[in-house]
Chains A and B, each alone.
Chain A
Amino acid sequence: MGELTLGHFLTLSALLFVIGMLGVLTRKNILIIFMSIELMLNAVNVSLIAFGRYLDSIAGQIFAIFVITIAAAEAAIGLGLILVLTRRQDSVDVTSVSLLKE
């Protein structure tokens, strides 16, 4: 592995995370937002595994497995919600949904 340090992987993780965050914050298409969330989860996984690797711990990978599990559950429900939303609203625009205001 040579010159590769923890910092490399954490920087990658941070980049991916911030890109995902930008997606969540700047897009209105709920599908893209969902993908961006997946991206952020992946970024977290990278840092978890990197930490586990550089600290000689297997717990990082275990955590990553749980993150993937939650991501799968979230994807299933989230996509279901998107389907229902498009059926009712004919749109995937999050800004057109403001039920939380009421």
Chain B
Amino acid sequence: MDWATIIFYLLAAVAVLTAAGVVFARNPVHSAFALVISFLNVAGIYVLLGAEFLAAVQVIVYTGAILVLFLFVIMLVRPEDLRELNTAPRVQTALAWLLGLALFAELGLVIATGVLTGARGPYPPEEVAAAGGNTQLIGRILYSEFLLPFEVASLVLLVAVVAAVILGLPDRFLTGERARGLSLSLGHPTGADRVLEAERRGVPAVDAPDLGEPGTIDTGRAPVGAGRGR
């Protein structure tokens, strides 16, 4: 057993264990930290596979950006809303386990039978080295062969940015006619429209929570909806 194999088993074991931690931890914050560790280990796996650039991207984007975003959201959501939720109904859980095991068995079969092969590509390790390394090669290919998908991906990101901004807008920007176009539930009787309808009639909407002053986080406030027959 050479070092690479040993390292692989180490990384893989930690990645799988922490992944299990993500899924089974009671506290979402613990889950998030387990996810960070899992991602870091997967980044190590990438290095083993000779994908140094992706390993770096994995660390920067996932652990650096996405995970921090997760933690932010966890902080923003009021703690009482984060109270531990029991897992899904028993039938659902049992079925999920059944399906998970079945899928793993099937995938194992696929891997064991070795049917997953394909034609060899033009970039064995020597070629990669000749091109100046992994990062240079990815750059060259990405901006030549995959230029169009790359540009499309940039559009997807742009849309995501706009969507995130709209979703994050405080509700006071979402009143009036403009809200109709931005509402989460277009023409739906529940959701923002019902709130607006109630506002127009000057009565509190039955299900509309009191959101407090827009833009503030009122941690001392009682759980909204409590005692309203919900």
What is A's interface to B at a CB cutoff of 8 Å? 1-4, 6-12, 14-23, 25-29, 31-32, 34-36, 38-39, 42, 45-46, 49-53, 55-59, 61-62, 64-66, 68-77, 79-84, 86-93, 95, 99, 102
Contact = CB atoms under 8 A, between A and B. Distances in A.
A66 B157 CA distance: 11
Nearest to B7: A4
By secondary structure, the A interface counts as helix
B103 A83 contact: no
Contacts of A62: 138, 141-142, 145-146
A77 to B, nearest CB: 5
Given A10-B116, A31-B74, A2 B2 contact: yes
Contacts of B12: 8, 12
Contact of B224 (A6, A27, A90): A90
A50 B50 CA distance: 9
A17 to B, nearest CB: 8
Q: Report whether over half of chain B's contact residues are helix, strand or loop; otherwise say mixed.
A: helix
A12 B69 CA distance: 26
A31 B73 contact: yes
A27 B50 contact: no
A4 B159 CA distance: 41
Contact of B190 (A7, A25, A38, A102): A102
Residue with the greatest number of chain A CB neighbours at <10 A, chosen from B19, B188, B225: B19
B50 to A, nearest CB: 6
Nearest to A84: B167
Nearest to B112: A7
Most buried by B among A32, A38, A84, A99: A32
Given A16-B16, A39-B35, A58 B168 contact: no
11 contacts: A1-B5, A11-B108, A19-B100, A22-B97, A35-B32, A39-B23, A55-B118, A68-B58, A81-B167, A83-B77, A86-B81
A50 B198 CA distance: 56
B41 to A, nearest CB: 10
Contacts, number: 270
A27 B20 CA distance: 13
Interface residues of B, number: 104
B22 A52 contact: no
Interface of B: 1-2, 4-5, 8, 12, 15-16, 19-20, 22-23, 25, 28, 31-32, 35, 38-39, 42, 45-46, 48-51, 53-54, 57-58, 61-62, 65-66, 69-70, 72-74, 76-78, 81-82, 85-88, 92-93, 95-97, 99-101, 103-104, 107-108, 111-112, 114, 116-124, 127-128, 134, 137-138, 141-142, 145-146, 149, 153, 156-157, 159-161, 163-164, 167-168, 171, 184-185, 188-191, 209, 211, 223-225
B111 A86 contact: no
